[in-house]
Amino acid sequence: MNTTKKTTQFTRLALLAALLVVLGCTPLGFISIPPISITLMHIPVIIGSLMLGATYGGVLGLVFGLVSMLKAATSPNPADLVFSPFASGMPLASLVMCIGPRVILGISPAILNKLLFKVLKKQAINFTISACISTAVHTILVLGCLSLFFKAIPVQEIFMYIIGVNGVLEMVAAGVLATGVCVPLKKNHVI
């Protein structure tokens, strides 16, 4: 990769990381509906992964994890405190839950898109499927960590709600927005 392309990729990474910080520090990134917060921060991570590849997507996932961890430390929702290593009583578990699923979220869309392109040559469909599957995997991983590390929390009761409502809404938003952003960028040779 030449220097100009590396600089362009790094600039795009920096812009998406800055967007994640802005979303995390304003009410735009997390919609608080007690007892949980619904996030829109996964969408720039997915877009970045599809545009820049798995490595940069993983970096964006790390930024998402760090920002959400800091947001959880200041959240008014008691359920969000498990995401904060400062307030959960289990700092290592909170770090794993905040960072692990988010890094995987950043890596998976690029990998899925490459695999799907071998089967389907339809870029828009590949972007949509990659975004939806990655969002579902992220939700399942976060809930799995919640169930594994924080057994006192009634995950079974909220699991169906989150998967049924929150998960579906996040998947639809990711599929529509990632495809809506990435397809025109791809057609105009921006990515």
- Chain segment 141-175, per-residue pLDDT in tens: 988 888 788 777 665 666 666 666 778 888 999 99
User: Cβ-count burial of 52 within 10 angstroms (0-12 exposed, 13-18 middle, 19+ buried)?
Assistant: buried
**Which H helix or E strand runs over 129?**
helix 123-149
Identify the three-state secondary structure at position 38.
Answer: strand
Contact by Cβ (8 Å): 183, 127 = yes
DSSP code per residue over 157-168 = HHHHHIIIIIIH
Q: What class does CATH assign to 3-187?
A: mainly alpha
Average pLDDT taken over every residue of the chain: 88
pLDDT single digits (tens) 12-44 = 999 999 999 999 988 888 776 666 667 889 999
Q: Where are the domains of the chain?
A: 3-187
pLDDT single digits (tens) 122-137 = 999 999 999 999 999 9
Its pTM stands at 0.90
Q: What pLDDT shows up at residue 180?
A: 96
Q: What pLDDT shows up at residue 9?
A: 93
Q: What pLDDT shows up at residue 167?
A: 80
Q: What pLDDT shows up at residue 158?
A: 62
- For the chain, what is the radius of gyration of the CA atoms? 16
- Helices and strands (DSSP H and E) totals, the chain: 7, 2
